[in-house]
Amino acid sequence: MRSILNIFVRFVRLLLFILYYLKELVLSSLYVAWDIITPTDLMRPGFVEVPIDLKNETAIISLANLISMTPGSLTVDMTPDKTKIYIHAMYLHDKEQFVKKIKGELEHKIRLIFE
């Protein structure tokens, strides 16, 4: 009975994550499109090192791929021990805020699904 409940909870978390990620995908696409069609330049490209606490390899790969699928960001590299990920962001206005968003939102939600 406990395993059925656990599967149901993970499924609900997955559905909520899909809704969250679709919202983030649309917002970032609109931000990039707005930057392209307007004469002002909002880009502040840069690289950032983000420490990750995920242990499950599927979760780590999911995090890296979801970052790359979002317009304006790209997973560039990962340390061999898989504790840090290097990301190139087109709109890196504040590194600490960017790291908090990746760790506090995306990584946390992925951890709830996979671990």
Residue 1 is predicted with a pLDDT of: 65
Contact assessment for residue 28 and residue 72, using Cβ atoms and an 8 Å cutoff: yes
Residue 3 is predicted with a pLDDT of: 87
Give pLDDT tens digits for 100-109: 999 999 999 9
Give the span between the Cα atoms of 31 and 42, in whole angstroms.
9
Residue 56 is predicted with a pLDDT of: 93
Q: What is the DSSP string of 56-114?
A: -HHHHHHHHHHHHHSTTEEEEEE-TTSSEEEEEESB-S-HHHHHHHIIIIIIHHHHHHH
Assign 110 a pLDDT band (cuts: 50, 70, 90): very high
Report residue 95 as tokens. Answer: 């590194």
Give pLDDT tens digits for 21-53: 999 999 999 999 999 999 988 899 999 999 999
Give the span between the Cα atoms of 13 and 10, in whole angstroms.
5
